[in-house]
Homo-oligomer: A and B are copies of this chain.
């Protein structure tokens, strides 16, 4: 079953391939009767221009790629990404763009990048120094970094440190000293990569609050956790089994916090009486769970929108050859939202 192409249609309609192309893309070049005839023939034969050939010649696919730090199945377990992707796609819908996600395949993004016919990337959770990112820069492909340090490209970040500081400060001010910290596991990095921007900044924020009041910072009270409810559960249990008996908990992601709450309740603790908890992100789940999760709010949806706006801006810049990267470092604000997991 051979896929029919433009030449087949042209032959059947008794015109040249050029005419068929015109019938779809520049009908004003052709007699309107001819246009109709060609279109009829095309529909009849079930013809549709080959998207790859089209993208190849146009040097443009209308697809944007979102580079994610984890397998998609993991990412989709995290409510943070739901909202973030919603932000991006609200903009996609407006701009008639398609969206494609790419995640590490067997640990590497190279393969995924190599086969992605996209007009640009939104890169989440990677620093500019990252091998794959510098590859893109070298190749001259447009990208925007989200949740990662950038100097050579536009980026969108939030004030991670301040948000974390506020959360930690709140608990410390209420007298807590035995505070368990469930940090993003990226903060602990793999041997070959630098510490990760977001996690580093949140860690610094927590730490600053500790130092300011003179509370002892104990590394063994900081556990790396996957950003998911399961991760939160497991790590809270792990902490407990290591003999830690926290009276408060700082989680670097809402999903982690919610998992931890479940684990705590299962061990007979009462939240917030026995354990006060502050999450991070203010994802939709935070206001859905009972009790409502106190957390650090960040404008997730907007972050996605802004990222795509910046990317679109890059295309226009490339066209006009203007480039002022320094102006493209967007920092969005964070603030504390108190609900039921704090008293």
| Partner-B contacts on A (CB < 8 A) | 1, 3, 46-56, 61-63, 71-73, 76-77, 82-83, 85-87, 89-90, 92-93, 96, 98-103, 105-106, 111-117, 135, 138-140, 258, 285, 288-290, 318
Evaluate whether A51 and B139 lie within 8 angstroms (CB atoms) in the complex, with A86-B73, A106-B96 already known: no
Chain B nearest CB, measured from A88 CB (Å): 8
Is there contact, CB below 8 Å, between A56 and B52?
A: yes
Which residues on B sit within 8 Å (CB–CB) of A85?
72, 76
Bound-state CA distance A151–B85 (Å) is 34
Is there contact, CB below 8 Å, between B89 and A76?
A: yes
Bound-state CA distance A93–B103 (Å) is 8
Q: Among B51, B86, B93, B116, point to the contact of A115 (Cβ < 8 A).
A: B51
**How often does this chain occur in the complex, in copies?**
2
Which residues on B sit within 8 Å (CB–CB) of A87?
73
Q: Whose C-beta in chain B lies nearest to the C-beta of A44?
A: B138
Which residues on B sit within 8 Å (CB–CB) of A112?
98
Bound-state CA distance A117–B53 (Å) is 9
Chain B nearest CB, measured from A3 CB (Å): 6
Which residues on B sit within 8 Å (CB–CB) of A73?
86-87, 89-90, 93
Is there contact, CB below 8 Å, between B103 and A101?
A: no
Q: Whose C-beta in chain B lies nearest to the C-beta of A138?
A: B46
Is there contact, CB below 8 Å, between A62 and B115?
A: yes
Which residues on B sit within 8 Å (CB–CB) of A288?
258, 285, 288-289
Q: Among B47, B48, B116, point to the contact of A51 (Cβ < 8 A).
A: B116
Bound-state CA distance A239–B336 (Å) is 36
Chain B nearest CB, measured from A61 CB (Å): 7
CB-defined A-B contacts under 8 Å, sample of 12: A3-B139, A3-B140, A46-B135, A46-B138, A48-B114, A52-B61, A54-B115, A61-B115, A73-B87, A73-B89, A73-B93, A98-B100
Bound-state CA distance A90–B103 (Å) is 11
Evaluate whether A140 and B98 lie within 8 angstroms (CB atoms) in the complex, with A93-B103, A117-B51 already known: no
Bound-state CA distance A50–B98 (Å) is 19
Is there contact, CB below 8 Å, between B113 and A48?
A: yes
Is there contact, CB below 8 Å, between B98 and A98?
A: no
Is there contact, CB below 8 Å, between B71 and A76?
A: no
Which residues on B sit within 8 Å (CB–CB) of A116?
51, 98
Evaluate whether A98 and B102 lie within 8 angstroms (CB atoms) in the complex, with A52-B61, A61-B115, A288-B285 already known: yes
Bound-state CA distance A115–B98 (Å) is 9
Which residues on B sit within 8 Å (CB–CB) of A48?
113-114, 135, 139
Q: Whose C-beta in chain B lies nearest to the C-beta of A102?
A: B98
Evaluate whether A55 and B289 lie within 8 angstroms (CB atoms) in the complex, with A3-B139, A86-B73, A92-B72 already known: no
Chain B nearest CB, measured from A90 CB (Å): 4
